[in-house]
């Protein structure tokens, strides 16, 4: 997210993170966080008013970070996903979850990914490993994300629309024989 409260990102499926890592090193990008498990909870009210409005309320644990995030409705500028986003560092996911539950919110879905974070100037690049495959997210100023993606060897035209949750839903529908869980979590 930028300081403007607007998220601008590309989410691109990839076969191999190593090729992207090599490109990032060559560009002088800096590793911010080594690959680590990220756990996310999406919450909504009983009437699902956030979902109906195209909004997201998320609790995230990633390394030492604990974050509460609100995201507003999505629009697209070409392949770039753009939406309002507000984040707040919190002390405890469990405590914040109890507060949100007391306010009438419940956990809709849980999803996990292994994430490695890089920074190239004002653009964040993350390498995500999910139970359905690998992705790269490029996030930063809207006028820079496509150019940075290209310099890292990625094609913005390959960007997928949708959240990890909606992509997981589609993946489960395409693979009914795998009997995948509703939540996007790694097996034990």
**The model's pTM:** 0.94
Q: pLDDT truncated to tens, each residue of the chain (188 aa)?
A: 446 699 999 999 999 999 999 999 999 999 999 999 999 999 999 999 999 999 999 999 999 999 999 999 999 999 999 999 999 999 999 999 999 999 999 999 999 999 999 999 999 999 999 999 999 999 999 999 999 999 999 999 999 999 999 999 999 999 999 999 999 999 86
Q: Determine, yes or no, domain membership for 1.
A: no
CA 95 to chain centre: 22
Q: Determine, yes or no, domain membership for 32.
A: yes
Range of the domain at 149: 7-175
**Dihedral-angle region of residue 63 (phi above 0 means left; psi in -120 to 50 means alpha; beta otherwise):** left
Instruction: Compute the distance between CA of residue 129 and CA of residue 185 in angstroms, rounded to an integer.
Output: 11
Q: Determine, yes or no, domain membership for 182.
A: no
Please answer whether residues 100 and 120 qualify as being in contact, where contact means their C-beta atoms are separated by less than 8 angstroms: no
Q: Determine, yes or no, domain membership for 181.
A: no
Q: Determine, yes or no, domain membership for 128.
A: yes
β partners of residue 81? 9, 76
Instruction: Compute the distance between CA of residue 129 and CA of residue 134 in angstroms, rounded to an integer.
Output: 5
Q: Determine, yes or no, domain membership for 52.
A: yes
CATH number at residue 166: 2.40.320.10
The count of other CB atoms within 10 Å of the CB of residue 10 is 26
Instruction: Compute the distance between CA of residue 3 and CA of residue 124 in angstroms, rounded to an integer.
Output: 13
Please answer whether residues 2 and 121 qualify as being in contact, where contact means their C-beta atoms are separated by less than 8 angstroms: no
Copy the structure tokens of residue 127.
């390498």
- Please state the domain count of the chain: 1
Q: Determine, yes or no, domain membership for 98.
A: yes
DSSP designation for 184: B
Q: Determine, yes or no, domain membership for 88.
A: yes
Copy the structure tokens of residue 136.
């790269």
């Amino acid at each position: 997210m930028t300081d403007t409260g607007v998220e601008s990102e590309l989410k691109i499926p990839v076969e191999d993170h190593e090729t992207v890592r090599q490109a990032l090193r060559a560009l002088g990008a800096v590793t911010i966080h080594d690959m680590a498990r990220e756990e996310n909870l999406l919450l909504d009210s009983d009437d699902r008013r956030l979902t109906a409005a195209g909004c997201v309320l998320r609790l995230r644990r990633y390394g030492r970070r604990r974050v509460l995030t609100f995201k507003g409705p999505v629009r697209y500028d070409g392949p770039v996903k753009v939406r309002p986003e507000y984040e707040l560092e919190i002390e405890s996911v469990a405590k914040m979850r109890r507060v949100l539950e007391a306010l009438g919110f419940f956990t809709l879905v849980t999803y996990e990914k292994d994430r490695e974070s890089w920074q190239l100037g004002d653009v964040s690049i993350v390498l995500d490993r999910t139970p359905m495959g690998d992705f790269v997210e490029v996030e930063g100023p809207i006028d820079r994300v496509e150019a940075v993606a290209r310099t890292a060897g990625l094609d913005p035209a390959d960007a997928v629309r949708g959240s990890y949750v909606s992509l997981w839903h589609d993946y489960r529908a395409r693979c009914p024989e795998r009997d995948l869980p509703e939540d996007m979590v790694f097996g034990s």
